[in-house]
């Protein structure tokens, strides 16, 4: 009877490489987050934990979308009813200002569309009788979220009000790759990846959201969100001895001998 020698080698190569992040100046200090209890190992969860997590995810799904506020880089069209000569298409400058007839520079960043239109209307009212002003947003450049870690293209991405976690992960090229034993393998560890919003780690299960398409965990990504894709630990199995093809393989949970 042939004997098979199975050797487990655990190589901990570190969870975070600068080459996988780009990196950014505004990276959250995870030790200082308001809620560091959001991540609970699945095996250690009890019914109370599951109920609390599900309740929080349902709250996130029911949250109203924050009102859109114009900001630097957004492309807008301004029209004055019955005065086509005053219409213009422009981008809001880095200082949040745009130039407009009669009133010069006017600050629009931080204002809603209605607030911005009213601001311009008040400014031109001494020069135009009963002005009616409208603003149309043509391109949004200020609604962004950040993704870093073990993804193919970490960076800051524009998002819409329909961008969900799985979409955002795909925008960044999904998992980064690494050559292992002559084969490209995914390095992303979805189980330990996190989504941070306003200083809170949301109790999102990335594996359920991305691998299984679970709608509750596939949350909407909001402006200012920070997603960190963790890097898998390098756990490998070396198969050697009286076998036809001695080789090394990455260890996967639940892996059997056959």
Residue whose C-alpha is closest to residue 226's, from 172, 148, 161, 152? 148
- For residues 250 and 184, the answer to whether their CB atoms sit within 8 Å is no
Q: Which of 16-20, 122-126, 240-244 has the lowest mean pLDDT?
A: 16-20
Taking the CA atoms of the chain, what radius of gyration do you get in angstroms? 26
> Tens digits of per-residue pLDDT, 75-93?
999 999 999 999 999 999 9
Length of the chain: 258
Specify the higher pLDDT residue, 192 or 37.
Answer: 192
C-alpha separations of 2 from 7, 8, 244 in Å: 16, 19, 11
Q: What percent of the chain has pLDDT over 90?
A: 59
Q: For the residues 97-117, what does the mean pLDDT come to?
A: 95
Residue 25 phi, psi (nearest 5): -70, -30
> Tens digits of per-residue pLDDT, 220-234?
999 999 999 999 876
Spell out the domains of the chain, with CATH numbers in brackets: 7-65+143-237 (3.10.560.10), 75-139 (3.30.1950.10)
Q: For the residues 41-63, what does the mean pLDDT come to?
A: 82
- For residues 146 and 163, the answer to whether their CB atoms sit within 8 Å is no
pLDDT at 19: 37
3-state secondary structure of 93: coil
Q: For the residues 180-191, what does the mean pLDDT come to?
A: 84
C-alpha separations of 120 from 73, 87, 133, 161, 167 in Å: 19, 12, 7, 27, 37
C-alpha separations of 160 from 59, 62, 139, 143, 234 in Å: 20, 17, 11, 7, 36
Q: Which of 23-32, 33-42, 218-227 has the lowest mean pLDDT?
A: 23-32
C-alpha separations of 56 from 50, 77, 133, 175 in Å: 10, 39, 41, 27
Mean pLDDT computed over every residue of the chain: 81
- For residues 22 and 155, the answer to whether their CB atoms sit within 8 Å is yes
Q: What percent of the chain has pLDDT over 70?
A: 74
pLDDT at 7 over 60: no
């Amino acid at each position: 009877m042939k004997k098979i020698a199975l050797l487990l080698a655990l190589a901990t190569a570190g969870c975070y490489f600068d080459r996988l992040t780009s990196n950014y100046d505004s990276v959250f200090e995870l030790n200082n987050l308001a809620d560091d209890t959001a991540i609970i190992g699945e095996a250690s969860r009890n019914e109370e934990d599951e109920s609390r997590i599900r309740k929080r995810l349902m709250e996130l799904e029911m949250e109203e979308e924050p009102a859109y506020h114009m900001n630097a880089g957004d492309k807008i069209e301004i029209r004055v009813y019955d005065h086509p000569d005053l219409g213009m298409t422009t981008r809001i400058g880095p200082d949040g200002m745009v130039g407009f007839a009669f009133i010069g520079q006017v600050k629009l960043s931080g204002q809603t569309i209605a607030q911005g239109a009213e601001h311009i209307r008040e400014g031109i009212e001494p020069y135009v009788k009963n002005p009616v002003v409208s603003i149309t947003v043509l391109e949004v450049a200020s609604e962004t979220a950040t993704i870093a870690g073990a993804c193919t293209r970490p960076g800051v991405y524009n998002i819409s009000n329909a961008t969900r976690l799985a979409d955002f992960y795909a925008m960044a090229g999904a998992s980064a790759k690494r050559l292992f034993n002559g084969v490209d393998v995914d390095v992303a560890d979805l189980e330990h990846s996190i989504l941070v919003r306003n200083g809170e780690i949301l109790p999102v299960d990335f594996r359920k959201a991305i691998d299984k398409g679970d709608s509750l965990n596939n949350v909407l990504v909001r402006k200012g969100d920070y997603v960190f894709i963790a890097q898998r630990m390098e756990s490998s199995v070396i198969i050697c001895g009286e076998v036809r093809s001695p080789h090394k393989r990455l260890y996967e949970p639940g892996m059997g001998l056959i």
